Amino acid sequence: MADTEEENPKEVLCSCSGTTRGLIIELVAQGKDLDAISRYSGALSGCGGCEWEITELVNALNAKT
């Protein structure tokens, strides 16, 4: 995975809810876990197509802290 800051923050990671990469980055910075991200954004609660990519992004962001 490329460095998350270099990737497009406007990229939609969850097409069901319209959740962007930038929003996920913001929510992780606020200390939210996957469950809280799902509740707040609606991501990870529809078809499941975004689960892998969002989980990988959250794990990568958490590994940096």
- Match 């497009």 to its residue by tokens: 8
22, 9 in Cβ contact below 8 A? yes
37, 58 in Cβ contact below 8 A? yes
pLDDT of amino acid 50:
97
Model pLDDT for residues 3-35, shown as the tens digit of each residue: 555 689 999 999 999 999 999 999 999 999 999
* Stated pTM of the model: 0.88
The amino acid present at 20, given as its one-letter code, is T
pLDDT of amino acid 7:
85
Model pLDDT for residues 55-64, shown as the tens digit of each residue: 999 999 999 8
pLDDT of amino acid 65:
72
- Rounded Cα distance between 35 and 42, Å, is 10
